[in-house]
Amino acid sequence: MIGPYAIIISEKHRYSDWQKPICKQGFDGKAVKIEDDVWIGSFAVILPGVTVGRGAIVGSHTVVTKNVLPYSIVSGIPAKLIKYRFSRDKMKRALEIDWQNYL
């Protein structure tokens, strides 16, 4: 689930060559991976190269700069772990569910 105005960015401008304007330096791209059963809140920003783990929740107005662990809840700028959704045992069991055949 992705809330309104959430942004998923897979490229960023290069800027290391001081002899060229940034607009002439091109882009670097990195894939963003969003696993099963994820909830991304409104106005959240997911940056290049990030994986949002299975069952994670990304709070509204959060900027995700690093990978989000499965079944975690993150919020803030930059995103920080708030808590895990379940106990370690339940998370382990949840990771074993085949969501493709669940529905």
Summarised one tens digit per residue, pLDDT across range 58-96 is 999 999 999 999 999 999 999 999 999 999 999 999 888
* pLDDT of 30: 95
* pLDDT of 98: 83
Any idea where the domains of the chain sit in the sequence?
26-96
User: Rounded to the nearest 5 degrees, what angle is found at the Cα of 96, between the Cα atoms of 91 and 53?
Assistant: 60
Sheet with 57-58: strands ordered across: 39-40, 57-58, 72-75, 80-84
For domain 26-96, the CATH architecture is 3 Solenoid (2.160)
Is pTM beyond 0.85? Reply is yes
Q: How many CB atoms lie within 10 A of CB 62?
A: 25
* pLDDT of 97: 85
